[in-house]
Amino acid sequence: MSPNPMPPEKTSHILVLGMGGTIAGLASNPGKDPLSYKAGELGIEALLEKIQEDIPGELKLVSRQVANINSRNLTEPLLSLLGQTVMESLANTMVRGIVITHGTDTMEETGVFLQLTCGKYAQNLGKRIIITGAMLPANAPEADGPSNLLDAIRWASTPLDNCPGGVYGVMAGRACLAMDLSKRHATALNAPLQASPSSSAGLINPSWLFGVKAVQGAWSEDLPIPKGEEWPWVEILTSHAGSRPETIARWFGGGVEGLVLAGSGIGGFHDAWLTPLGEAAKQGIALVRTSRTGGGLTYPDIPEKDLAGCMASGSLSAPRARIALQLAINAAKQANLVGKSLTWQDFFARIAVLPLIG
């Protein structure tokens, strides 16, 4: 195995894209304090060197560093760059599958972004994109990055009859659809899969696979990847005891195009928001309702009738609903430019009905 076989374009290979994160992080005193570290310190080639002996000799890997950041600092232009890199790489007949090493903090956003922009294309081509990362830095005695990276490479390269093409996440020996990644624990080794209906990485669970196929069957067309400067400004606001109307009203006239409302319970929000949200809708600000609980579904017109134009997020958490709303607003703008009168709601409705794997 060599991370950069020459020339890569002429050899069938797995492409490994490095984005940074803890998997590429280094602690200053790893034996004593592995959680005090800097993310995004090692390059992707160095990560592959660590697992070189475990890669089957016939499997060619090509690596590319897209970024090397702490993913809490992920930007929208960087998502665009990653999405474009993935689309171009999928189109390359020499690329069998793609692995992405990524920080766990915002895997949730990247997972849903790739599903909604590249998921159908990957599925149609029968290629898998696998996102992985680590909770411990690369020089920690119990570092989880090497085994996660190996699992991801195995998943990206295993025969298709095990599992269809598409976008997945792999951590701590388990796998899920990338759009189900959701970090709901600060330190657990499987933190990004805490709220996910996940399968075992080595053994495909038939009911999980059935769920994967149901989601893929419902996702008929990828959305356009916004160019760096095209991403609409969308904020997440959380309803809580003592919520104030000003929390909504302060966004008027400042360029915000959408608000994701992380409501309490089943997605209801504080009555103090009712009047300013009505005004927001009149001003053309897109509104999506979700739940701050971290699980379950948000349904239309429950617990009360929705404000005109406001949409329920289905199974999307607030960070996922935000990416979905941004992509839906952008898709509507692109459609309008070519004379199609479609709204963000038309696009968001296709996303919010994606089934939840139970």
Beta-strand pair 61-69/13-20: parallel
| 105 vs 222 by CB, closer to ligand ASP | 105
Q: Smallest distance from the beta carbon of 30 to ligand ASP, in angstroms? A: 15
Instruction: Determine, following the binding rule CB under 6 A, whether residue 147 of this chain makes contact with ligand ASP.
Output: no
Q: Smallest distance from the beta carbon of 146 to ligand ASP, in angstroms? A: 15
Q: Return the bridge partners of 238, or none.
A: 262
Q: Phi/psi of residue 13, each to 5°?
A: -150, 170
**Token code pair at residue 231:** 């991403």
Please give the residue whose beta carbon sits closest to ligand ASP in the complex.
103
Distance, CA of 259 to CA of 287 (rounded, Å): 5
| 104 vs 147 by CB, closer to ligand ASP | 104
Instruction: Determine, following the binding rule CB under 6 A, whether residue 182 of this chain makes contact with ligand ASP.
Output: no
Instruction: Determine, following the binding rule CB under 6 A, whether residue 285 of this chain makes contact with ligand ASP.
Output: no
Instruction: Determine, following the binding rule CB under 6 A, whether residue 38 of this chain makes contact with ligand ASP.
Output: no
3-state secondary structure of 330: helix
Q: Phi/psi of residue 172, each to 5°?
A: 50, 40
Range list of β-strands (E), the chain: 13-20, 26-27, 37-38, 61-69, 95-101, 128-132, 166-171, 174-177, 199-200, 234-238, 258-263, 286-291, 311-312
State which of residues 104, 110, 182, 198 lies at the interface with ligand ASP (CB under 6 A): 104
3-state secondary structure of 202: coil
Instruction: Determine, following the binding rule CB under 6 A, whether residue 298 of this chain makes contact with ligand ASP.
Output: no
Instruction: Determine, following the binding rule CB under 6 A, whether residue 139 of this chain makes contact with ligand ASP.
Output: no
Q: Smallest distance from the beta carbon of 103 to ligand ASP, in angstroms? A: 2
Beta-strand pair 61-69/286-291: unpaired
**Token code pair at residue 31:** 């034996």
* End-to-end CA, the chain: 39
- 129 and 181 Cβ atoms separated by less than 8 Å: no
| 140 vs 153 by CB, closer to ligand ASP | 140
Instruction: Determine, following the binding rule CB under 6 A, whether residue 103 of this chain makes contact with ligand ASP.
Output: yes
Q: Smallest distance from the beta carbon of 120 to ligand ASP, in angstroms? A: 27
Q: Smallest distance from the beta carbon of 40 to ligand ASP, in angstroms? A: 7
> Which is nearest to 100 in space by CA: 24, 204, 184, 158?
24
State which of residues 41, 76, 105, 151 lies at the interface with ligand ASP (CB under 6 A): 105
Q: Smallest distance from the beta carbon of 74 to ligand ASP, in angstroms? A: 8
| 21 vs 83 by CB, closer to ligand ASP | 21
| 122 vs 131 by CB, closer to ligand ASP | 131
What residues from 45 to 74 belong to the interface with ligand ASP (CB under 6 A)?
70-72
Q: Smallest distance from the beta carbon of 62 to ligand ASP, in angstroms? A: 23
10 Å CB burial of residue 224 (0-12, 13-18, 19+) is middle
Task: Count interface residues toward ligand ASP (CB under 6 A).
Answer: 11
Chain contacts with ligand ASP (rule: CB under 6 A): 21-22, 39, 70-72, 103-105, 133, 135
